[in-house]
Every structure is written in C-alpha cells, then in structure tokens.
Amino acid sequence: MKKYTLIFLLLFTFGINAQNISGQAYYESKTTVDMDAFGGGREMSEEMKKTVATMMKSALEKTYVLTFNKDESIYKEQEKLDASPINPGFKMMMSSYTPGAQYKNLKTGQIVEENEFFGKQFLVTDSIQTLDWQTTNESKQIGQYIAFKATAIKKVDPNDYSMARPKRDRKDENEKENAEVKKDTTKPEDPMDMIEIPKEIEVTAWFTPQIPISNGPGEFAGLPGLILELNFYRTTLLCSKIVMNPKDSEKIEPPTKGKKVTRDEYTTIVKEKTDELRENFRGRGGNDRRGGGFGG
C-alpha cells in the first residue's frame, strides 16, 4: 500500500487517541438494477423484469449500523417492515449472503457471522479477507470528514447472489435449443437462469484518517482510517451518520447463535439448497412456496 505524507499529516493534526476510540457509524445501501440488460431484452417479459427489480431492491437496499472500537466491531442491519411481494425462494437465496450480526476482530483477523438460511441458524467463522488496497491522494468531503480514495480487486463467491448481474448475450448458443425452450410456454421463467455471478469485482473505498481505525462496513477493513463509503458493481454503501464515543452503545462481542460452520462449509450448504430450490421451482411451475428444508 502506498504511503502519503498528507495522510500522516492529517493523523498528526487531528491527534485522535485511537487506543480509546469508539463509535457507531450508520450506512445506507443503494443498488441500481439495469433491467433492460437482462436477457438482452428478449427472454424476460416486462412483468418478470418488474418482479426481479422489486426483489433486488428489497434484498439489497438496507440500513446498517457499525458499532466499533479500536480492535473490534459488530455490524447489523436495522430492522424494517418489508411488505414487498417477494418469491420466498429468491428471498432466501439473497438473504443467505446478507448476514445477520457480523463481528470482526482486527487483532485476530477473525470474522463471525450469524446467518439464518431455510429456517436454520448458522454461525459462520472465517478470516477477514485481505485486499490489496491501492490508496491515492484523491479526496472528498463526506459529512464533516475528509475521505481519501482507495481501490482493490475482490474475488466473488460463485454462489453470492447479491452480486448477480444479467447474463451476457452469447452468439455461440445453440439456436435450436433456444427455439425449443421458447416453444415450451408451460415452462416457468426461472429468474436465476437470467443472471450470472462475476468472478471478481473492483471495489472503491473512501476512508477517513480522522477516525484512525482500520475498519469498515461488512467484511471490509484494512485501510488507515474508517471506511465511510464503498462502491462495488452497482452498489454503494454510504455513511450517513457517525456518533463518536457514545455513552450508551451495544456491547461488542461475537454472536453465538447457530450451528458452527466454516465459510466453505456454509457455501456448500447454500449451493446444495439453492440447486434443490430451483429444481422444485421448475417442477412446480414456479409456484413452490415451501422452499424445502433441512432434515433432522
């Protein structure tokens, strides 16, 4: 990571004692969805486009709170009433990559998440992903803080549907097979057939040395200052409010509810159940409301 005199000058000027620092940062997530790009505007009906757009918006646009100190943090979604008409199977797949309480320990490099998937609680443990951040002198004002720009390339889990994008048009597709599919009007449209997961994405972060903790929303960390804004693919996480050294704040400790699994184990569970759900969806004409379940 590059080092810049300006950053260290800011740290010296503001003179914050990171040893005793604590606070709460509120983040708003916004995601844009280009529905015209789905299926090249051919396979997906206007009604299906509207349905998928509603599901994506409800699944990805949320408010989060990061409660932090020098070495630890707990990141949670603020609860809200959601009356959107969402296919339960799609909602479960999306929520599998929108964790519950998410704890990070910067000293040990560990991250612990509470996830609920198909009615079962999981406690997922993993190492904090280390990104090769490239910092710059580019800066901007976010609220009352000066933030500097940094970028990195992040690998994406192949089952992370929160990173879904429209499939590219492929000229090498078997035209005969496509024609047969189009003729079968009884076959339900599976929204998952119209999206793909990128292998990697570019992440842009804006961090402030005025709050000298190496933390940020979700799984992100590793910069010389709190991350105030994150941009990746079509999603932006923007800090809307910061309360420093609050008198009353949530206790920072790892979550404990759920079956303990590693990240790889949880990814396998999600993939198996997602594949099962899609088969049920196709077999029941797109009207499967149960979504399967876990045995035992």
Residues 102-121 as b/e (b if ≥16 CB within 10 A, e otherwise) read bbbebeeeebbbbbebbeee
- The count of other CB atoms within 10 Å of the CB of residue 45 is 10
Separation of alpha carbons 63 and 248, rounded Å: 20
Give me the pLDDT at residue 2, please.
Answer: 47
User: Which of 16-25, 50-59, 127-136, 144-153 shows the lowest per-residue confidence on average (mean pLDDT)?
Assistant: 50-59
CA–CA gap between residue 99 and residue 16 (Å, rounded): 32
Tell me the mean pLDDT in the region 269-292: 70
The pLDDT value recorded for residue 177 is: 47
pLDDT value at 68 more than 80: yes
Residue 61: pLDDT band (50, 70, 90) is confident
Work out the pLDDT band at 187, boundaries 50, 70, 90. Answer: low
Select the more confidently predicted residue: 165 or 3: 165
**Distances in whole angstroms, Cα of residue 54 to Cα of each of 36, 195, 276:** 14, 15, 24
Q: What is the pLDDT of residues 200-239, one digit of tens each?
A: 899 999 999 999 999 999 999 999 999 999 998 888 999 9
Structure tokens at 224: 């010389």
pLDDT at 94: 53
pLDDT for 212 equals 96
Are the C-beta atoms of residues 246 and 24 closer than 8 Å to each other?
A: yes
Distance CA 283, CA 277 (A): 10
Instruction: Please report the pLDDT score of residue 248 as a whole number.
Output: 79
Q: What phi and psi, each to the nearest 5 degrees, are found at residue 267?
A: -60, -40
Q: What is the mean pLDDT of residues 46-71?
A: 78
Q: Residue 98: what are its φ and ψ, rounded to 5°?
A: -120, 85
| Lowest-confidence pick of 14-18, 61-65, 130-134 | 14-18
- From the centroid of its chain, how far is CA 265? 19
pLDDT, position 40: 46
Q: What percent of the chain has pLDDT over 70?
A: 62
What pLDDT band is residue 280 in, cutting at 50, 70 and 90? confident
Select the more confidently predicted residue: 27 or 168: 27
Higher pLDDT, 80 or 6: 80
Give the pLDDT score at 235.
Answer: 86
The answer to whether 269 and 276 are in contact (CB under 8 A) is no
Give whichever of 10-14, 80-84, 210-214 has the largest mean pLDDT.
210-214
Question: Could you write out the three-class secondary structure of the chain?
Answer: CCCCHHHHHHHHHHCCCHHHCEEEEEEEEEECCCHHHHHHHCCCCHHHHHHHHHHHHHHHCCEEEEEEECCEEEEEECCCCCCCCCCHHHHHHHHCCCCCCEEEECCCCEEEEEEEECCEEEEEEEECCCCCCEEEEEEEEECCEEEEEEEEEEECCCCCHHHCEECCCCCCCCHHHHHHHHHCCCCCCCHHHHEECCCEEEEEEEEECCCCCCECCCCCECCCCEEEEEEECCEEEEEEEEEECCCCCCCCCCCCCCEEEEHHHHHHHHHHHHHHHHHHHHHCCCCCCCCCCCCC
- Tokens read off for 134: 């490239």
Q: Average pLDDT over the chain, rounded to whole?
A: 78
User: What pLDDT, on the 0 to 100 scale, is given for residue 182?
Assistant: 53
The label of the residue with tokens 């008198």 reads: 247
